């Protein structure tokens, strides 16, 4: 007997694959999602904060039923020197009203829920199965091979995440280079919700995101992060893989060092570690987006490097949802036209160019170059911390004006006005 | 919070260990390698130096893919574990 031919086979049940499958199933197409994890979410980790606006287009009022941790009403950016810390703190009650600006989320729970919605919509999800290869008819992809079996499809959607072996097999993506990905390592630290609320100045289900710049990366391109969940904290660091490779630092050691920093230590005091995780994330933005389609084949989400990193924003989930939805639109068109070749599938790229996905990546195309500047992780955070220390020190000696303190500190950091001007210019262009 | 060893942290994670190796190293290539990036890059420290030999133990692997990208000599034969096996995050 011939195996069933699906309108689409989706490899990977992360945000990108689920969004694509959900939209297709809702439109009545035959969709199969294959996920290598024991359950959807089992392999996935992020910071993280999920921005809900894109998902809401797909599943209106999803916040009423999704397993969300806390809605984020407070954003803190902290600069670290060896011992000191300096924070910028923004809090807005307006972020605490529907449709909400963002939520902290735990992926093992959230992705499982999302995949459940996809199933409800009528798609078939098979977890615990690894897509090993693509099926070909000449130059056209006509399905996948998984667990030794063939699954024919009009279109294959590669939603297999950052390592995308499938986009490589399709000949669209090159092997990733270590400059274009960052490694995140994270601990899930359990803490009672009352303590979290008190410690972080939050009410009920409100949450905070805190990003750290400076000493925690030992000068490497990257940063630290903290997100409050209902009854836990997500604490971790993300570092460009090439920098980590060059510096010879062990990621696990770096995370321990981060946890013991005086500016972090007290935030996690009394907590118990429940899980240790690691994951890569693409960081090259528009510069490394591969060819997005070929005959019978589309690449979505992290597999296509569709992540926005500006140093302040790390958003991959919205890009995954939006690219998955654009892929679904395109597969629907292919079904209508009875043509899954590139002639129809090129519509996917057109949709991404029209939406925020490729436009945002284009707007921030200089950010990676800017973020490669080591002064951002050493000189400036130290300068800010030392300047603040100077400002607040009472040691019985004659006081200096802010400008004098700044001059002295710049001298100590070997930072010239020219450096500041150049970095300021690059920063303005980049973020 | 007291500092915690990596072994203790990995012991908190849930794994369904496959008997089939999903990562292996080519010892002949490793013998000629000077920087031995794999020894420090892996967040689960799966690569160890035993005498002069690089050994790999997959039990703690978090399937991130860093070793595959960081070893510039292509000595690491890297795939994901079979479907359903390997790390299963409870939080993620
Ligand atoms: C440390 C870190 C922090 C981050 N913080 C944030 C944040 O705060 N906010 C944000 O929006 N984004 C964040 N991101 C990025 C975000 O996690 C990703 O952009 C997003 O998960 C991409 O979704 P995806 O569906 O494309 O890929 P993934 O979520 O990686 O999903 C891919 C899925 O495919 C499966 N799979 C892979 N290969 C196969 C195969 N061969 N066969 C079958 N299944 C397969 C995987 O198991 C997985 O379920 C962060 C990432 C990291 C690493
Ligand atoms: S695996 Fe790669 S990095 Fe490690 S010793 Fe072998 S060749 Fe060197
Ligand atoms: S995939 Fe990641 S966790 Fe597994 S051995 Fe390689 S670097 Fe270590």
Class of domain A6-69+105-176+284-354: alpha beta
Number of domains in chain B: 1
Nearest partner of A133 among A181, A172, A169, A104, judged by Cα: A169
Name the token pair of B25. Answer: 């190293």
Identify the nearest ligand to the CA of A251 by its number.
3
B56 CA → ligand 3 middle, Å: 10
- Boundaries of CATH 3.50.50.60 in chain A? 6-69+105-176+284-354
Contact A44 B70 (CB under 8 A): no
The arithmetic mean of pLDDT across residues A171-196, rounded, is 96
DSSP B24: E
Least confident of A4-8, A233-237, A415-419: A415-419
Confidence tier at A260 by pLDDT (50, 70, 90): very high
Q: Given the DSSP bridges, would you call strands A124-126 and A70-80 parallel, antiparallel or unpaired?
A: unpaired
pLDDT score recorded for residue A178:
96
B24 falls within a domain? yes
Nearest partner of A295 among A155, A104, A131, judged by Cα: A155
A87 pLDDT above the threshold of 70: yes
Domain of B60, CATH number, reads 3.30.70.20
Name the token pair of A328. Answer: 């679904």
pLDDT score recorded for residue A351:
98
Domain that holds residue B29: 6-85
Contact A252, A231 (CB under 8 A): no
A194 pLDDT above the threshold of 70: yes
Mean pLDDT for all residues in chain A: 95
Contact A276 B12 (CB under 8 A): yes
Give ligand 2 pocket residues (Cβ under 6 A): B 25, 29-30, 33, 36-38, 54, 71, 73, 75-76
Q: What is the pTM of this model?
A: 0.96
B34 falls within a domain? yes
pLDDT score recorded for residue B1:
73
Question: A236, A245, A246, A253: which to substitute to probe chain B, counting the most B Cβ within 10 Å?
Answer: A245
Contact A37 B84 (CB under 8 A): yes
Tell me which H or E stretch contains A199.
helix A193-199
pLDDT score recorded for residue A402:
86
Q: Which residues of chain B have pLDDT under 70?
A: none
A196 pLDDT above the threshold of 90: yes
How many residue pairs from chains A and B have C-beta atoms closer than 8 A?
140
B76 falls within a domain? yes
B88 neighbourhood in chain A, CB within 8 Å: 37-39, 42-43, 108
How many CB atoms lie under 10 A from the CB of residue A166? 26
Which atom in ligand 1 lies closest to the alpha carbon of residue A131?
Answer: 42
pLDDT score recorded for residue A269:
97
pLDDT score recorded for residue A376:
92
pLDDT score recorded for residue A426:
87
Contact B41 A44 (CB under 8 A): no
Name the token pair of A290. Answer: 């591969």
The arithmetic mean of pLDDT across residues A113-139, rounded, is 98
Identify the nearest ligand to the CA of B45 by its number.
3
ipTM of the complex, rounded to two decimals = 0.97
Rounded to a whole number of angstroms, the CA Rg of chain A reads: 23
**Angle at A256 (CA atoms; ends A84, B55), nearest 5 degrees:** 145
Residue A70 main-chain phi, psi, to 5 deg: -140, 145
Q: Which of residues 12-41 of B touch A (CB under 8 A)?
A: 12-13, 16, 37, 40-41
B1 falls within a domain? no
pLDDT score recorded for residue A41:
98
A1 pLDDT above the threshold of 70: no
Contact A183 B43 (CB under 8 A): yes
Distance from CA of A341 to the nearest CA of B (A): 29
Question: A276, A288, A303: which to substitute to probe chain B, counting the most B Cβ within 10 Å?
Answer: A276
Name the token pair of A194. Answer: 């009352």
pLDDT score recorded for residue A213:
96
Nearest partner of A307 among A292, A291, A318, judged by Cα: A318
Contact B3 A275 (CB under 8 A): no
CB-based contact (8 Å) between B70 and chain A? Answer: yes
How many CB atoms lie under 10 A from the CB of residue A256? 16
Name the token pair of A256. Answer: 């321990």
Confidence tier at A399 by pLDDT (50, 70, 90): confident
């Amino acid at each position: 007997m011939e195996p069933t031919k699906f309108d689409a086979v989706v490899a990977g049940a992360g945000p990108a694959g689920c969004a694509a499958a959900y939209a297709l199933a809702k439109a009545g197409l035959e969709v199969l999602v294959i996920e290598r994890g024991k359950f959807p979410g089992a392999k996935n980790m992020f910071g993280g904060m999920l921005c809900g606006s894109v998902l809401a287009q797909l599943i209106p009022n999803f916040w009423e039923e999704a397993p969300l941790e806390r809605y984020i009403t407070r954003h803190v950016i902290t600069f670290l020197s060896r011992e000191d810390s300096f924070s910028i703190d923004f809090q807005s009650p307006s972020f605490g009203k529907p449709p909400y600006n963002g939520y902290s989320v735990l992926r093992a729970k959230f992705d499982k829920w999302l995949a459940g919605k996809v199933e409800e919509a009528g798609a078939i999800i098979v977890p615990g199965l690894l897509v090993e290869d693509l099926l070909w008819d000449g130059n056209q992809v006509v399905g996948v091979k998984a667990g030794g079996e063939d699954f024919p499809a009009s279109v294959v959607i590669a939603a297999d995440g950052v390592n995308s072996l499938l986009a490589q097999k399709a000949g669209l993506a090159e092997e990733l280079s270590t400059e274009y990905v960052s490694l995140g390592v994270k601990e899930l630290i359990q803490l009672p919700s009352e303590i979290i609320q008190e410690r972080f100045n939050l009410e009920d289900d409100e949450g905070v995101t805190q990003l750290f710049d400076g000493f925690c990366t030992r000068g490497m391109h990257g940063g630290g992060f903290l997100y409050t969940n209902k009854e836990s904290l997500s604490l971790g660091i993300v570092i460009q893989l090439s920098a980590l490779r060059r510096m010879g630092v062990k990621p696990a050691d770096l995370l321990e060092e981060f946890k013991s920093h005086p500016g972090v230590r007290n935030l996690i005091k009394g907590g118990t570690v429940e899980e240790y995780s690691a994951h890569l994330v693409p960081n090259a933005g528009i510069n490394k987006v591969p060819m997005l389609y070929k005959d019978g084949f589309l690449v979505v989400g992290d597999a296509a490097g569709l992540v926005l990193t500006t140093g302040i924003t790390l958003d991959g989930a919205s890009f995954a949802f939006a690219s998955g939805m654009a892929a679904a639109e395109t597969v629907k068109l292919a079904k209508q036209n009875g043509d899954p070749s590139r002639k129809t599938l090129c519509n996917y790229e057109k949709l991404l160019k029209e939406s925020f996905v490729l436009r945002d990546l284009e707007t921030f195309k200089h950010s990676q170059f800017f973020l490669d500047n080591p002064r951002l992780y050493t000189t400036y955070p130290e300068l800010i911390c030392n300047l603040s220390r100077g400002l607040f020190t009472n040691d019985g000696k004659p006081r200096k004006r802010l400008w004098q303190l700044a001059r002295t500190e710049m001298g100590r950091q070997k930072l010239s006005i020219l450096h500041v001007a150049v970095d300021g210019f690059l920063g303005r262009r980049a973020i | 919070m007291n500092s915690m060893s990596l072994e203790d942290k990995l012991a908190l994670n849930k794994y369904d260990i496959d008997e089939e190796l999903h990562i292996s190293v080519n010892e002949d290539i490793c013998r000629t390698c000077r920087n031995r990036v794999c020894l420090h890059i892996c967040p689960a420290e799966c690569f160890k130096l035993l005498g002069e030999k690089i050994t790999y133990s997959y039990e703690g692997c978090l399937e991130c893919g860093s070793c595959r990208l960081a070893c510039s000599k292509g000595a690491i034969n890297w795939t994901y574990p079979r479907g359903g096996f390997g790390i299963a995050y409870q939080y993620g």
